[in-house]
Structure 1
Amino acid sequence: MTETAPADPGPATLGGGATCPVCGAGVEPGQAFCESCGSALGATPPAAPAAAGLQSVEQTVPIELTRPTSAATPGAAVTLTPTARCLSCGGEVGEDGYCTVCGTKAPSPRDHYVEQPASWVAAVCDRGIKHHRNEDATAVAADPEPGSRAVLVVCDGVSTSSDSDVASLAAARRARDVLVALQPAGLPNPASRSGAIAAAIESAVAQANEAVLAATPADGPDAAACTFAAAVVEGDLVVFGNVGDSRVYWLPDPGGTGMGAEPTELSLDDSMAQARIAMGVDRVTAENGPQAHAITKWLGRDTPDAVPRTGSVLLGHPGWVLVCSDGLWNYCSEADRLGELVASLAGTTASPLELAEALVRWANEQGGRDNVSVALARH
């Protein structure tokens, strides 16, 4: 669970109507989704297609970000395609979101979805066990050739804000599209490429922040907010950036030596816990103490600073680039432990999608007290 630092003002809500346009159930102001059928509130047209370049994302469940048709619709909305078949009996799910045979309500497509744009890149986003909705979001893209170019983005909605699920998906999708479009060309030097990609990440964060604002009315007590973490993989070069406490890790296969052979937490949190670690408090105490998950930077209307921390690393070994939300690292924060976990789950044959699903499943087995997002690229 992510929350903003208590000293900062809270963020706004996405308005709905008096009744759900799909099932007719009553809805309260500020709801983004109908509690009865799970439909998005507000009619909007499809978003423009993603920028050309990397392969478009393939998802097992379509999740479409759309924009308002007029100023009367406050901000952006997320349109979810309902499940076609009942998971209980296999019967057809009706337009109201309930099985026409046994009456069981179908789960929201947002509860668990996967993305696999190429064989070497995948992401899984899951509601977890304890939360009533999934406020995390992933967005990934990749060239077909393994080890070529990939974009991994994870955003975690701030749980104390309204419409954080809308904010996270809007931010992740926008950032991915910007990073797909802004590909440096003619820069063979790794340092030059690293600087150009870092600038692209800064631009992606700025536009992701604008996407969050577009999903947030100008007034309201709880402006939508989310964290941000991303990694751009180009061959042996990985450039990363973050705002908040979603993370980027490098997890090499066991047995390597030399530079890049050790599991490493690449990103640095913007959080109260990280501030305490910087003051000398040990990691376990800092990450489990009071306000440990209070973040000091985020994307949203009331953020004190939306400029990401960025960095880069050259990889000299096979392994995994991992971008994740705190729903995973809550249970395995240290890079060494996370590397051991990945090695035990991956073995020698796991695909990125199989490993991402296994990591999500493992987090849920530990209690699943938060939403879980895992994005992986195999190097």
Structure 2
Amino acid sequence: MTQKTERLWGFAVFAAVLSSAGLPIYIHAPKFYADEYAVSLASLGTVLFALRLFDVVQDPLLGKLSEAVRQHRGASVAVALAVMSAGMVGLFAVSPIGPPVFWFAITLTAVFSAFSYLTICFYSQGVARAGALGGTGHVRLARWRETGGLVGVCVASVTPTVLAAIGLPAFAVFSVAFAALCAVAWAMMRREWTGEKRTEGAGFAPVLRDATSRRLLFVALVNAAPVAVSSTLFLFFVDARLGALGAEGPLLLLFFVSAAAAAPVWGSFAERVGAKRALIYAMLLSIVSFSFAFWLGTGDTWAFAAICIGSGAALGADMTLLPAIFARRMSQISPNASEGFSLWGFVSKFTLAFAAVVLLPTLDAAGFKSGENNSPEALLVLSLLYAVLPCALKLIALAVFWKTELKED
């Protein structure tokens, strides 16, 4: 195996950058603007929903663009990284120009658009690289990529809390550090984008005609929804339901460290028993562990920590094995993969749109207020949304995935 084939650490670092701009922004940004600029939850939810719908429309177009500029993909990736960095700095380090909710929308549009394009390029590039690895190459590459991504989530989720604890302007420093990390990731991945010749893609038709691909896209849609739900409501649940103000950082770190530690274990397990069986076990673990969250109340922080460990470990499989399974299918029916992963992004973004348009306005309608004392009825709605809804969605995803026929290597 050549040295170039072995060099997978660049994928891990690049994945860390992308993951830092993904879930952590959904966790921190709404609460940051609600607390700092008194933007209502309903307004934030409406903006996030509109941005997710925009993403749903633009992702297939970005997939086409990624394929059209394949010969110049390195330059396009550099531009997208610069746009994402600027959007992040504007979101957290620049005082809103005009109404805060408009500034929230503008800067997040830059972050999410660049994030979408980079994700499509990155995962389609991974299909080509995994092919050079042979055998279980897709799972092996996914183990590097998703472990790096989970490490990025861990660091990005807890960094603002640590920075605030030592007296620094947490989110401003975080956004500048993120921009610096984007430059490092570009340097480490720059050789991966070279030597690609543009080929005529077959569009979305091969993916949408394939029954297995359609089922995997549906599983991705429903399976990502619980993460979108729990990410959107995590800070509100810890603060208002558990009464554990100040414990958000350690709990987030515990959750994502559990995911990062479990990801390579799930990858190794999948190589022995098959990716499908391993992912089914992980989905069952997620449902069982997270179902206990509904019964938690004030002071149950240690019990919630145990739930974070179990559900975090299950997330490690979700983020490692399901993309690997889809990538393997793309290598069989749509080798260019850009269009396939633009559809993958499409369904993932839709779950975030669902979370934004349903959860925050529902909490607002129930009378829930961030940082204030809430009624038992409002807290019950929070618990139902945070704990029961994700388990129901996960059961649907498990049922469909169980019936999906896959050819294991």
Using structure 1 for the length normalisation, give the TM-score. 0.31
Instruction: Pick the structure with more helix per residue.
Output: 2
More contact order relative to length (CA 8 Å, sep ≥ 6): 2
Higher strand share: 1
